[in-house]
Amino acid sequence: MVSALILIADGTEEMEFTITYDTLVRAGASCTSAFVSTEERQGDSGSYEKNPPFAKGSRGINILPDTYFSPQAHTPDKFDLLVIPGGAKGAETISNSSPVQHLVRQYLEAGKYVGMICAGSLAALTAKLPKQPLTSHPSVKDRLADAFVYSEQSVVVSGKLVTSRGPGTTFPFAFTLVELLFGKEKREEVIGPMVFPPGTWA
């Protein structure tokens, strides 16, 4: 079964997390959400073994992750896809995590897909990925434009790296991941029952 690891932190953008997770599940993927904690939150928990707390999203919606993020447990031999959503505060926590940065490089070196959306694309910078096509939320463009071949397309695929712009591009981002992992037929199969209005990008 195709499997995906979707990171989440306090301040993660709810739409980017939930739409991606939901769409991948509809395609048949096994999804695991992993909480990337700040030092303060990790100190409260005391252990990676305990259940994680609710992540408070960028709009104040509480989401209960499946597990704590663990660099030992969430290696690329266990998942086909790593997803980093945005939301300014959440993206900062995730992209500044050195274990996450290491894992991003590991996934790409192993030939696994890495998806980044919105400010989550900052992880490409902090992980020191080579210069390549990429997009992000406009608010972090200035931090990425010199290090990458910046694009303002809704979704940019560069080898195994898939980036997107923000909440409004989450569906095309998720559908692109479905197509890459499962093929075009599965993408169309997932889109149909969602009943998008005629003439939309879906």
Q: Which residues are catalytic?
A: 16, 118, 137
Cβ atoms of 188 and 141 within 8 Å: the answer is no
Nearest to 61 by CA among 98, 7, 23, 8: 8
Going by the DSSP 8-state scheme, the letter that residue 38 receives in this structure is -
27, 110 in Cβ contact below 8 A? no
Give the DSSP letter string of 109-141. Answer: HTT-EEEEEGGGGHHHHHTTPPS-EE---GGGH
Nearest to 113 by CA among 1, 189, 30, 3: 3
Phi first, then psi, for residue 163 (nearest 5°) are -125, 155
First-to-final CA distance of the chain? 25
| Of residues 50, 47, 53, the one with CA closest to residue 65 | 53
Q: What is the DSSP letter of 118?
A: G
DSSP state letter for 139: G
